[in-house]
Structure 1
Amino acid sequence: MELDPDRCYDAFTTHDARFDGRVFVGVSSTGIYCRPVCRVRTPRRTVCSFYVSAAAAEAAGFRPCLRCRPELAPGLSAMDASATLAHAAAGLIDAHLADDLSVTSLAGKVGITDRHLRRLFREQFGVAPADYLRTRRLLLAKRLLTDTALPVTEVAAAAGFGSLRALESAFQRNYRMVPSALRGKVRQMAGDGLHFTLAYRPPFDFARLIDFLAGRTILGVEQVAEGEYRRTVRLDGHRGWLRVRPGKTALVVTLSPSLSAVVPAVLAGVRRLFDLDADPLAVLQALGPLAEARPGLRLPGAFDGIEMAVRAVLGQQITVKAARTLAGRFAAAFGEPIETPWAELNTCFPSAERIADLSISQIAERGVISRRAEVIIALAAAVAEARLMLSPGAPVQETIAQLQALPGIGPWTAHYIAMRALAWPDAYPDGDYGVRAALGMCSTREARLQAEAWRPWRAYAVMHLWASLGEAEETPS
């Protein structure tokens, strides 16, 4: 991505929030890089250079500003095929910072070659994948040190450094400081939970988004109450809870201390669920009058891919309310009990491995017809055996084909899963009753043709069509 230096400097001098997360400003006189919204005294144009990512700024030798904190900048949404692949790989990195990642494994997950991934990363982020990974680990460690009371050894492990010594060495080499220098005088207590802010680009219609989620919460697993979203979490052997509430241009997220080892993956799940990397202005431009009444509408994602996919299968050709009831029964029967601060949240949704081991009769006893029980088991087995990936990093068309190859999953279900679990902005379940009703009860073919003008944001168009009817019924024809 090429940047116009003059335009970038204008954005920096005016603190233009539209450029936040898209441009980072390196100041050679201080060796520091900032976000465009930083309120420090504006440096001269001659000492400023501009970068498409924090990783590119750090690769050029700059250290992050302690005032505007580049690690808090909003993320980016992809707008074309090449960008989609690069951002999918970047999303996998962000969700698995503590893992032993390689370019080969990343490329394999998004369905391209190592060489192609390196080229796309260079085009999108200005650095190689390894440089991006290093910066993301450093910035996460910086964030945990600044915002939490976690022991430095736990910070090192959560950010993927493996040891305290490795963390100290990286900080000294890249930031010219010791990690403990970021510890403030007042730090949150671990017993109170771990608190984070996740930025987004306004407008953001939080109320409408949690209203959508509220009608689809799985009893015992999720809850919307007192204007906030809550859920249980089961991730890589760790269990806990989280809560999300609105803040000023950011969501405020609290995690149970038991999730400290998997903070990157949990925060990545929240970003997916609330579609925090969306560019609402780009969507508005593409959808035009359809989106004008609801410019802050987001595309609800999925915190857990298998959970969302099972919920989608349970919801085939029945109402949203009936699907919610079935999903609650399913979770209560096969999930894991957990204690949380809220009595109503007491269950972790079962893992793909647990679901794959169930029999058709066990699921059918909970009011699920046998054919759908068979689909759920086959779906879970494909995920458990790593034959199917239900997250934004998955190759979209291949995943949709894999889903439709499973007995009982048709185009509507496959596209609905792609729309939410894969966060694919161009998914379009055109046989959906609500979509056709909003378009004047046209045929499925007419609905498909009408949607061509909304590419590559057809999934957002679906959300707007459902919203125009009131409560979305998301029922296929």
Structure 2
Amino acid sequence: MKLDLASCHQALQARDARFDGRFYVGVSSTGIYCRPVCPARTPRAANCDFFPHAAAAERAGYRPCLRCRPELAPGLAPMDAPDRLARQACARIEAGALDAASLMALAAELGVSERHLRRVVEEATGASPVDLAQTRRLLLAKQLLTDTALPMAVVAQTAGFGSLRRFNHLFQSRYGLAPGRLRRASPERAETPVPDRIELRLAYRPPLAWPALLEFLAGRGAAGVEAAVGPCYLRTVQLAGRRGWLAVQPDVEAARPQLRVQLSAGLLPVLSAVLQRLRRLLDLDANPEAIAAQLGRDARLAPLLAATPGLRVPGAFDGFELALRAVLGQQVTVKAATTLFGRFAARYGEPAQSPFAELRYHAPTAERVAEAPRQALIELGLTGRRAETVQRLARAMAEGQLRLEPGADPEATLVAMQELPGIGPWTAHYVAMRALGWPDAFPDGDLALLKALAAPNARALREAAEAWRPWRAYAAIHFWRSLAMGG
């Protein structure tokens, strides 16, 4: 959105949740910056400065509000940033790319100069890449201090700071408040030994069709890797050598829309990356009001939007896991594909330990599957050609030739995927929808979509879908759900 004073202040006065995470307001009379849904008294327009990102507010000298907690605000959706390179860079930074590597290394990875990358990111966000990374670490630390009883040294390490001294200095200088004072403001959060699990909150823009999202994920996951128990989503996690589990469900007691997340303590060293992957799996950074406003102009979609408001495009926790599931699902039923995926998890996934009987395995990795003999894959129930496709996909990802994650270039990824034997446009677009989080991906050859729109061919379907840009993936998920529900 364009950050003009009048429109931002009107949204602030209304505490309109649709703008939460889309801008932040710095109040000059207090030196604090807030979310537009902050319950504090609305400041005068003359005392307000508006920023597109929390890092830009902090760069201007503002401290985060302790009431509305900017670290809980929904992030910007992939289509919100005006520049593709900026979106790619921000996604990598949010995943921790600058925690262990330099800006020069990130620029080289993205194929641009360090100077150009810095300029593009600053134009898109109002803050430098280093500012973005530092704000991400500080806000994660602030959330841990407020929501958990983790020891201070563990908070600093989990948030990505090299030392407790460095963390204390940056927190004090940026927020004007010692970390210990923030914790003492919450007596129930007195430090205790590291527990076996922690609990955090993830915010989102309402509405959220949680039952529909849960049904989709559980129906297409691998038995033993992920499951739905009542309103709770469960899954195992392995990332950067760390293994554990997580459980997510709506926080029905919260005043604002948010999910309650429990994670095993073994995931603390990779917590930032886990939370980011979880947000993209559940599509929590989507703006359902903006999507509905666009798609609702179509008479075929309007009743579907009304029937399931807040329907999200389920993402992917791991790109290879999703791509493998998509390949296994070619030309077979959802149930048959899920059975095949479960066999892969049992054969090539490592055993998992969790408090949930439903979670028994970690998802198979690209490296493990790439080493599997073709005959072993055939014995799981694959044809020879499908086994070759799985092998080539696993090797491409294990060797870094293919990246399936948000921030990757959609067009280039679609081309790269279709160069692999056995992967056509439908599979490539399905993976782009979910693993890349690309909201405009659209499998125009999908038989169910052709049926739903009574389109004679893929070309006619593409033409009909032009009006849905840039949210074609959301249109597809609504039609799929309608057909599944017998609509």
- Amino acid of the residue matched to residue 35 of structure 1? R
Q: Deviations over 1:129-184 (max 9, x none)?
A: 11111111111111111111222222222212111111011112111222222222
Corresponding residue of 1:38: 38
Amino acid at match of 1:469: L
Unaligned residue ranges in structure 2 (runs of 5+):
none
Equivalence for 1:285: 293
Q: CA deviation at 1:220?
A: 0.7
SS at match of 1:277: coil
The amino acid across from 1:233 in the alignment is: V
Residue 301 of structure 1 aligns to a residue in which SS?
A: coil
- Alignment CA distance shift 1:48-1:17 (3 Å): same
Counterpart secondary structure, 1:239: strand
Residue 239 of structure 1 corresponds to 243
Moved more, 445-454 or 39-48: 39-48
User: Which residue in the other structure is 2:67 paired with?
Assistant: 67
SS of corresponding position for 2:220: coil
Mapping of 1:350-369 within 5 angstroms?
350-369=364-383
Aligned to 2:336: 322
**Which letter does structure 2 place at the counterpart of 1:119?**
R
Q: Is residue 2:450 matched to residue 1:442? A: no
Provide the rounded CA distance (Å) in 2 between the counterparts of 1:232 and 1:397. 31
Instruction: Give the Cα separation in 2 of the matches to 1:175 and 1:458.
Output: 41
Say which SS state the counterpart of residue 246 (structure 2) adopts. strand
**Match in the other structure for 1:179:** 179
Q: Secondary structure of 2:77's match?
A: coil
Tell me which residue corresponds to 1:122: 122
> Of the candidates 268, 272, 297, which is equivalent to residue 264 of structure 1?
272
Indicate how the Cα distance of structure 1 residues 108 and 320 shifts in structure 2: closer, same or farther if over 3 A, else same. Answer: farther
**Post-superposition offset of 1:454:** 1.1
- Once residues 239 and 215 of structure 1 are traced to their aligned partners in structure 2, the CA distance between those partners, rounded to angstroms, is 23
SS in 1 for 2:245: strand
Q: Give the aligned partner of residue 445 of structure 2.
A: 431
Q: Is the 8 A contact 1:98 1:159 kept in 2?
A: no
Amino acid at match of 2:181: A
Residue correspondence of structure 1 range 70-469 to structure 2 within 5 A:
70-79=70-79, 82-96=82-96, 99-110=99-110, 112-183=112-183, 184-187=186-189, 190-191=194-195, 193-247=197-251, 248-288=256-296, 289=299, 290-291=301-302, 292-293=305-306, 294-440=308-454, 442-469=456-483
Please name the residue that 1:475 is paired with: none
Q: Secondary structure at the match of 1:424?
A: coil
Q: State the AA in 2 paired with 1:408.
A: G
Q: TM-score, length-normalised on structure 1? A: 0.94
Give how far 1:361 is off. Answer: 1.1
Return 101-110 or 328-337, whichever deviates more.
101-110
The size of the alignment, in residue pairs, is 472
SS at match of 2:217: helix
What is the CA deviation profile of residues 200-223 of structure 1, one whole-angstrom value per residue up to 9, with x for unaligned ones? 111111111111112112111000
Contact 2:99 2:133 in 1 (8 A): no
- Counterpart-to-counterpart distance in 2, 1:272 and 1:45: 35
Give 3-state SS (helix, strand or coil) of 2:332's partner.
coil
Q: Deviations over 1:38-74 (max 9, x none)?
A: 1123333322211111101000011111111111111
Question: Greater CA deviation, 114-123 or 439-448?
Answer: 114-123
CA distance in 2, matches of 1:389, 1:152: 35
Which residue of 1 is the match for residue 21 of structure 2? 21
- What is the TM-score normalised by the length of structure 2? 0.92
Inter-partner Cα distance in structure 2 for 1:453 and 1:13: 33
By how many angstroms is 1:390 displaced?
0.7
* Shift, 1:233, TM fit: 0.3
More displaced stretch, 73-82 vs 279-288: 73-82
More divergent stretch after superposition (336-345 vs 14-23): 14-23
State the alpha-carbon separation in 1 of the partners of residues 142 and 319 from structure 2. 29
Tell me how large the CA RMSD over aligned residues is. Answer: 1.9
| Cα pair distance change 1:467/1:379, threshold 3 Å | same
Question: 1:353·1:380 contact (CA, 8 Å) conserved in 2?
Answer: yes
Q: 1:110 to 1:228 in 2, by over 3 A?
A: farther
Moved more, 24-33 or 73-82: 73-82
What percent identity do the matched residue pairs reach? 56
Counterparts of 1:63 and 1:451 in 2: how far apart (Å)? 44
Q: Distance in 2 between matches of 1:463 and 1:442?
A: 20
Moved more, 68-77 or 100-109: 100-109
Moved more, 140-149 or 95-104: 95-104
Distance across 2 between alignment mates of 1:425 and 1:112: 25
C-alpha separation in 2, matches of 1:105 and 1:309? 27
Kept after mapping to 1: 8 A contact 2:81/2:87 = no
Deviation, 1:471, is 5.5
Judged with a 3 Å threshold, the aligned counterparts in structure 2 of structure 1 residues 84 and 196 are, in CA distance, closer, same or farther, namely: farther
Map Cα deviations across residues 270-328 of structure 1 (whole Å, 9 max, x no partner): 10011011111221122123143233111100001110111111111101000000000
Structure 2 counterpart of 1:21, one-letter code? G
Q: For residues 323 and 309 of structure 1, what CA distance do their matches in structure 2 show? A: 12
Which sections of structure 1, spanning at least 5 residues, go unmatched?
Answer: 473-477
Amino acid corresponding to residue 267 of structure 2 in structure 1: L
Q: CA deviation at 1:31?
A: 1.2
Instruction: Tell which deviates more after alignment, 92-101 or 128-137.
Output: 92-101
